[in-house]
Amino acid sequence: MALRAYVTESINVAAIMGIGDGIAQLLVEKKPLSEWDMGRTVRFSALGFVVVGPVLKTWFMFMESRISKKHSPMRRGITKMLVDQCLFAPPFTLAMSYMVPKINGEEEQQIRNRIRETYFTILSRNYMLWPMAQFINFSFVPLQYQVMYVQCVALIWNSYLSMMLNKK
């Protein structure tokens, strides 16, 4: 995969993650515009650019190469969704639960406590949204648009995730 494709995906993911954090701060947390933590939004976006975009692109390409194309689109979609939600979602959620507070300057012990308190709640909420979204993605969305589709759904998810991982 060309570097350009990764950069493009990363830019898109960064923008959508930034919008998600803005939604979290302004609409969910109901901060006035004057209290919007622009640094937090920039850090969340940067995480999308540096980590989330490339990881998702690589993961989707990996699954595309490993899940048999001989099966019907529905069966491939179900298989990819199950692999994604069983093998990728738990460690990725844990990684995000660590990285977001870390880039916001939290201490290690505080991060560990937050993970103990929120990880299973976040993961259970993941399972309320992502299995159906990923089934649709893997069954009906062309590969070149799958990361973008996920990021559109992630506007909702990123708002929730940002709110949960930035609680003081």
Q: For the chain, give the number of residues.
A: 168
Contact (Cβ atoms closer than 8 angstroms) between residue 44 and residue 20 = yes
What residue ranges do the domains of the chain occupy?
A: 3-165
CA atoms of 160 and 168, how far apart (whole Å)? 15
66, two tokens: 């490993």
List Cβ neighbours of 137 (8 Å cut-off, separation of 6 or more): 77, 146, 149, 150, 153
pLDDT of residue 1: 53
pLDDT by 10s per residue, the chain, length 168:
588 888 998 999 999 999 989 998 999 889 999 999 999 999 999 999 999 999 998 999 999 999 999 999 999 999 999 999 999 999 999 999 999 999 999 999 999 999 999 999 999 999 999 999 999 999 999 988 998 899 889 888 878 877 787 776
Q: What is the pLDDT of residue 90?
A: 98
CA–CA distance, 99 with 63 (Å, rounded to integer) = 24
What pLDDT does 144 receive? 87
